[in-house]
Amino acid sequence: MESGSESPFRRDEPVFSSRKWLLIAFISAFAWLIFTVYVKGRQMTEAEDWGMDLFWLVLQLAAQITVVGFLFHALRSVWRSGERRSFELIGIAVKSQRGFLVGITILIATGSVFFAMWAHEYRGLNTGLKQRAQAYRIWKEHTRRTPAPPPSTEAPPVSPRPPSSSPPASSLQLDPFAPQQEQPPSPSPSQP
């Protein structure tokens, strides 16, 4: 390594050392990888059919492991470069970053496409949801304004059908990720 055109090394020869910054980046990327496994694993245990989830998990993990591997390779080269003053080692350290940079560029490009798709999808859903919220508010205000009928002394006729009321907002399935609230059991119209 130390032989070649640049030997013996001069004291003014530059050193490329970003060890701690690369180490921080590596730790962050590794934590991200572990957390992806945790989140996806939790999602898969909750889902009934996780064939597609497994596919996405494998794909995502493969991409992330590749990027983390490249980052580790870059970190190792930079570590060596920081120890000695050598153009050759600097060249290796700089060149070893290429894999990580290419990997993260591909990951970011793919992520951008997905983010744009999801954002577009969410936009359409949000428009519909907003209209429903406005209609619900108007209906709620209308029922508040209308005075309730005076309570009669006679008992109301028993109807086999349950009283028609608007479903609560929690049962509208607004958000698939929202926690489901337990509803009290209501009599079925088909029951006598």
Partner 1 sequence: MTASFSSRGLNRLRPEGEDREASSNVVHACQVIAHCHLALGIFLIVLAATATWWIFEISHRLRIIDEFRLIDSPEGTAPSPNPDIILNFGVAVGVLCILNAGILFRCRNGLRAFTRTRRVSDLHPAMRRLRTMWLFFSISMLLITTALIYLLQKEILPPV
* 3-state SS class at 12: coil
Q: Any contact of residue 50 with partner 1 (CB under 8 A)?
A: no
Q: Any contact of residue 22 with partner 1 (CB under 8 A)?
A: yes
Is the link from the previous residue into 14 a cis peptide, with omega within 30 of 0? Answer: no
Nearer to partner 1, 31 or 58 (CB): 31
Binder to partner 1 among 37, 58, 115, 143 (CB under 8 A)?
Answer: 115
Q: Any contact of residue 112 with partner 1 (CB under 8 A)?
A: yes
Greatest Cα pair distance in the chain: 109
Phi/psi at 3 (nearest 5 deg)? Answer: -85, 170
Could you say which residues in the range 72-111 bind partner 1, by CB under 8 A?
87-88, 90-92, 94-95, 97-98, 101-102, 104-105, 108-109, 111
- The encoded tokens of residue 123 equal 């936009």
* 3-state SS class at 126: helix
Distances (CA, A) of 75 to 27, 82, 117: 11, 10, 34
Q: Give the interface with partner 1 as residue ranges (CB under 8 A).
A: 4-6, 10-18, 21-25, 27-29, 31-32, 35, 39-40, 42-43, 87-88, 90-92, 94-95, 97-98, 101-102, 104-105, 108-109, 111-113, 115-116, 118-119, 122-123, 125-126, 129-130, 133, 136-137, 140, 168-169, 172, 174-178
